[in-house]
Chain A
Amino acid sequence: MSAVIQALLIGIVVGALYSLVALGFGLIMGVMRFVNIAHGSFIIIGGYIAYWLFTLWGIDPYLSIPAVMVCMFVMGLLLYRLALAPLLKYPRAEMRMDKSLLITFGVTWVLDNAVTLVWTPDTRSVITPYSGSTIGIFGARLGLVGLTGLVIAVLITVFLHLLLTRTYFGKHVRAATEDSGAASLSGVNVQRTYLISCGIAAALGGVAGVVIVSSYSVAPSGGLNWLLIAMVVIVLAGEGNITAILPAGLILGVLQSMSTLVVSPAYQQPISLIVFILVLLLRPNGLFAHGGMDDR
Chain B
Amino acid sequence: MLTPINCRRNNVLEVNHIDVFHDDLQALWDVSMTIAAGEIVSLVGSNGAGKSTLMQAICGVSKPRAGSILFDGARIDRLAPHRVVEKGICMVPEGRRLFPRMSILENLEVGASVKTARKTRRETLDWVYEVFPVLKARSGQRAGTLSGGEQQMLAIGRALMSRPRLLLIDEMSLGLSPVAAQSIAGVVREVNAPRMLTILLVEQDVQLALTLAQRGYVIENGRIVGMGPAAALLCSEEIKEAYLGMGSAQR
Cross-chain contact A183 with B91 (CB below 8 angstroms): no
Which residues of B are found within 8 Å of A185, using beta-carbon distances? 59, 61, 81, 85, 90-91, 93, 97
Cross-chain contact B102 with A186 (CB below 8 angstroms): no
In the assembled complex, B182 has its CB within 8 A of some CB on chain A: no
User: How many angstroms from the CA of A183 to the CA of B100 in the assembled complex?
Assistant: 12
* Beta-carbon contacts under 8 Å, B80-127 to A: 80-82, 85-86, 90-91, 93, 97-102, 106, 109-114, 117-118
Which residues of A are found within 8 Å of B110, using beta-carbon distances? 171-172, 175, 183, 186, 188
In the assembled complex, A189 has its CB within 8 A of some CB on chain B: yes
A166 to nearest B CB, angstroms?
Answer: 11
Which residues of A are found within 8 Å of B144, using beta-carbon distances? 293-294, 296
In the assembled complex, B142 has its CB within 8 A of some CB on chain A: yes
Which residues of A are found within 8 Å of B80, using beta-carbon distances? 184, 189, 191
A162 to nearest B CB, angstroms?
Answer: 14
Cross-chain contact B99 with A175 (CB below 8 angstroms): yes
Q: How large is the interface on A (under 10, 10 to 19, 20 to 34, 35 or more residues)?
A: 20 to 34
Cross-chain contact A182 with B97 (CB below 8 angstroms): yes
Q: Taking A185-B90, A186-B85, A187-B85 as contacts, is the C-beta distance between A172 and B97 under 8 angstroms?
A: no
In the assembled complex, A178 has its CB within 8 A of some CB on chain B: yes
Residue on A nearest B56 in the bound complex, by CB: A185
Residue on B nearest A170 in the bound complex, by CB: B106
Cross-chain contact A186 with B158 (CB below 8 angstroms): yes
User: How many angstroms from the CA of A119 to the CA of B46 in the assembled complex?
Assistant: 66
Cross-chain contact B97 with A179 (CB below 8 angstroms): yes
In the assembled complex, B26 has its CB within 8 A of some CB on chain A: no
B67 to nearest A CB, angstroms?
Answer: 22
A-B contact count (CB 8 A): 77
Mostly helix, strand, loop or mixed at chain A's interface?
helix
Which residues of B are found within 8 Å of A171, using beta-carbon distances? 102, 106, 109-110
Which residues of B are found within 8 Å of A219, using beta-carbon distances? none
Cross-chain contact B99 with A187 (CB below 8 angstroms): no
B63 to nearest A CB, angstroms?
Answer: 13
User: How many angstroms from the CA of A294 to the CA of B158 in the assembled complex?
Assistant: 21
Cross-chain contact B142 with A293 (CB below 8 angstroms): yes
A134 to nearest B CB, angstroms?
Answer: 43
B94 to nearest A CB, angstroms?
Answer: 11
In the assembled complex, B162 has its CB within 8 A of some CB on chain A: yes
In the assembled complex, A99 has its CB within 8 A of some CB on chain B: no
Which residues of A are found within 8 Å of B102, using beta-carbon distances? 171, 174-175, 178
User: How many angstroms from the CA of A296 to the CA of B99 in the assembled complex?
Assistant: 12
Interface size on B, residues (CB 8 A): 31
User: How many angstroms from the CA of A174 to the CA of B81 in the assembled complex?
Assistant: 18
* Beta-carbon contacts under 8 Å, A246-278 to B: none
User: How many angstroms from the CA of A296 to the CA of B98 in the assembled complex?
Assistant: 13
Residue on A nearest B98 in the bound complex, by CB: A182
In the assembled complex, B159 has its CB within 8 A of some CB on chain A: yes
Which residues of B are found within 8 Å of A178, using beta-carbon distances? 99-102
Which residues of A are found within 8 Å of B106, using beta-carbon distances? 171, 174
A137 to nearest B CB, angstroms?
Answer: 38
In the assembled complex, A90 has its CB within 8 A of some CB on chain B: no
Cross-chain contact B97 with A184 (CB below 8 angstroms): no
Q: Which of A172, A174, A293 contacts B113 (CB 8 A)?
A: A172
User: How many angstroms from the CA of A134 to the CA of B113 in the assembled complex?
Assistant: 49
User: How many angstroms from the CA of A145 to the CA of B80 in the assembled complex?
Assistant: 48
Which residues of A are found within 8 Å of B109, using beta-carbon distances? 168, 171
Which residues of A are found within 8 Å of B112, using beta-carbon distances? 187
B167 to nearest A CB, angstroms?
Answer: 12
Which residues of B are found within 8 Å of A189, using beta-carbon distances? 80, 82
Q: List 8 A-B contacts (CB under 8 A).
A: A171-B106, A174-B102, A182-B97, A186-B162, A187-B85, A187-B86, A187-B90, A187-B113
Chain A contacts to B: CB under 8 angstroms: 168, 171-172, 174-175, 178-179, 181-191, 293-294, 296
Q: With A183-B99, A293-B145 given, name 19 new contacts (CB 8 A).
A: A171-B110, A172-B110, A175-B99, A175-B102, A178-B102, A179-B98, A179-B99, A184-B80, A184-B81, A185-B59, A185-B81, A185-B85, A186-B113, A186-B159, A187-B111, A187-B114, A187-B162, A188-B110, A294-B144
